[in-house]
Amino acid sequence: MVDFTLTDEQKDMREMAHDFAEKEIRPVAWEYDKDGTWPQDIINKAWEVGLMNTHLPEEYGGPGLDYLTGCVIEEEIGWGCSGIGTSLSCNGLATAPVILGGSEETKKKYLGMLTEEPKLASFCLTEPDAGSDVSGMRTTAVKKGDEYVINGTKCFITNGGYADYYTVYAKTDKEAGHRGISAFVVDRELDGVTVDKKEDKLGQRASNTATISFDDVVIPAENLLAEENKGFKLAMMTLDRTRPGVAAMAVGIARAAFEFARDYSKERVQFGVPIAMHQAIQFMIADMATKIEAARLLTWQGAAMLDQGQRNTLASSHAKRFAADSAMEITTDAVQVYGGYGFIKEYPVEKLMRDAKIMQLYEGTSQIQRLVIAREVLMPRRIEEPATATA
């Protein structure tokens, strides 16, 4: 029997996350968005109550929550503010390759660091000339004895300006395309690491997005994750694991927009009745509600498959694609329900429409998700996953 009932623990976590979003995030979200304020105070509080690093295994100090619970939490935080939510959840993206490919020592050091203090880590894959086309990256890592020397520039790095370490992808064999990429952990404090630029963004303005340069940065060889030249697969495996979380955040944004639009439609009177009495508005509200339900189910499926140890590439891309596109449609329709007021910053929905846009862009655009879906549907293949560094 298929059962979509959450466990009592999952319900408790949802309630805790909702409460946090309502009391700590919502009251400042629109203000932080306006000024692009870095939410360090909220990061500290979220870390304190256990709403950060929820995915980290217990042996490294984390609560070791399952992916589905992570998505349930992420929806609530996204409902509060997805910009702040992105800052809170970015450690999940940065540490996935460490969990997948790090040696025991690497895991102890770099995962433990995040559970001992409210520290941050960033995922450095994208480059100015290599976005969707990961294999086109130019950053290099050259092995010299027991060390690697890293050179290159990564852009659009979430939390980049505040991270204590980075998981960095670099070419270890320039001629080998995707088979010549490796992944490393790089400490922020090392000589040659520079935070170059903070982006001024359309939405999610409370999150930090920076360019990071690596100029002859020397790291110990043990900071290699998995095997040399297996970094591309590690990146793909990471995104399979994190895209349901992005989808959940998109559901949270969509739900927030839906609730505002629903409530406003019952108050706003035109032609002598609340606009919710007009079928034109009712159908928009109905479509919003259906898309939210469908997006959540796809999200939960993507997460539940991971929890069951199944490969979830297709489900993950279905969820990310549909939830992101739905969030964009729903927030745009919420602005429409508000009419001219929706376009005014004094009202809540224009922020949500701006925030939703990044959902269709980061962690793989909606077009990349369709590419993955098309390949999985048309040419299903068996994918071999790299062994961890210790295996």
> Which of 7, 44, 132, 308: binder of ligand COS (CB under 6 A)?
132
Q: Could you give the 3-state DSSP secondary structure of residue 45?
A: helix
Q: How far apart are CA 346 and CA 89, in angstroms?
A: 28
Burial category of 20 from C-beta neighbours within 10 Å (exposed 0-12, middle 13-18, buried 19 and up): buried
- For the bound state, the minimum distance from the C-beta of residue 327 to ligand COS, rounded and expressed in Å, comes to 17
Q: Which one of 9-17, 46-54, 99-107, 364-372 is the stretch in contact with ligand COS (CB under 6 A)?
A: 364-372
240 belongs to the binding site for ligand COS (CB under 6 A): yes
> Which of 193, 372, 373, 389: binder of ligand COS (CB under 6 A)?
372
- The residue with its CB nearest to ligand COS is 364
**Partners of 219 in the β-ladder:** 148
- For the bound state, the minimum distance from the C-beta of residue 321 to ligand COS, rounded and expressed in Å, comes to 12
Q: Which of 189, 259, 363, 385 is catalytic?
A: 363
Q: Could you give the 3-state DSSP secondary structure of residue 387?
A: coil
Q: Which one of 118-126, 211-219, 247-255, 291-299 is the stretch in contact with ligand COS (CB under 6 A)?
A: 118-126
Based on the residue annotation, tell me whether 376 is a catalytic residue of this protein. no
46 belongs to the binding site for ligand COS (CB under 6 A): no
Q: Which one of 196-204, 209-217, 231-239, 322-330 is the stretch in contact with ligand COS (CB under 6 A)?
A: 231-239
Phi, psi of 384 (to 5 degrees): -90, 130
Is-contact 307 67, C-beta < 8 A?
yes
> Which of 72, 362, 373, 389: binder of ligand COS (CB under 6 A)?
362
Q: What is the DSSP letter of 127?
A: B
Q: How far apart are CA 225 and CA 210, in angstroms?
A: 23
- For the bound state, the minimum distance from the C-beta of residue 257 to ligand COS, rounded and expressed in Å, comes to 23
208 belongs to the binding site for ligand COS (CB under 6 A): no
236 belongs to the binding site for ligand COS (CB under 6 A): yes
Binding mask 307-346 for ligand COS (x = CB under 6 A): ------x---------------------------------
> Which of 237, 352, 356, 373: binder of ligand COS (CB under 6 A)?
237
The first and second tokens of residue 108, run together, are 């102890």
CA distance readout (Å), 367 to 17, 132, 377: 31, 9, 15
Q: How far apart are CA 154 and CA 129, in angstroms?
A: 10
Binding mask 60-99 for ligand COS (x = CB under 6 A): ----------------------------------------
125 belongs to the binding site for ligand COS (CB under 6 A): yes
> Which of 364, 373, 388, 389: binder of ligand COS (CB under 6 A)?
364
Q: How far apart are CA 380 and CA 240, in angstroms?
A: 16
166 belongs to the binding site for ligand COS (CB under 6 A): no
Question: Which among 164, 145, 132 has a CA at the least distance from the CA of 361?
Answer: 132
228 belongs to the binding site for ligand COS (CB under 6 A): no
Q: Which CB sits closer to ligand COS, 288 or 368?
A: 368
Phi, psi of 167 (to 5 degrees): -95, 115
Is-contact 83 203, C-beta < 8 A?
yes
What part of residues 339-358 is at the interface with ligand COS (CB under 6 A)? none
297 belongs to the binding site for ligand COS (CB under 6 A): no
Q: How far apart are CA 352 and CA 324, in angstroms?
A: 12
Q: Which CB sits closer to ligand COS, 246 or 292?
A: 246
Q: How far apart are CA 186 and CA 191, in angstroms?
A: 11
Residue position matching structure tokens 């090392």: 190
The first and second tokens of residue 82, run together, are 């997805």
Is-contact 261 349, C-beta < 8 A?
yes
> Which of 68, 122, 363, 389: binder of ligand COS (CB under 6 A)?
363
User: Residues near 316 by Cβ (< 8 Å), separated by ≥ 6?
Assistant: 239, 240, 241, 243, 244, 247, 302
Q: Which CB sits closer to ligand COS, 134 or 170?
A: 134
Q: What is the largest CA-CA distance in the chain?
A: 79
* Chain residues in the site for ligand COS (CB under 6 A): 123, 125-126, 132, 134-135, 178-179, 232-233, 236-237, 239-240, 313, 362-364, 368, 371-372, 383, 385
Q: Which positions are annotated as active-site residues?
A: 363
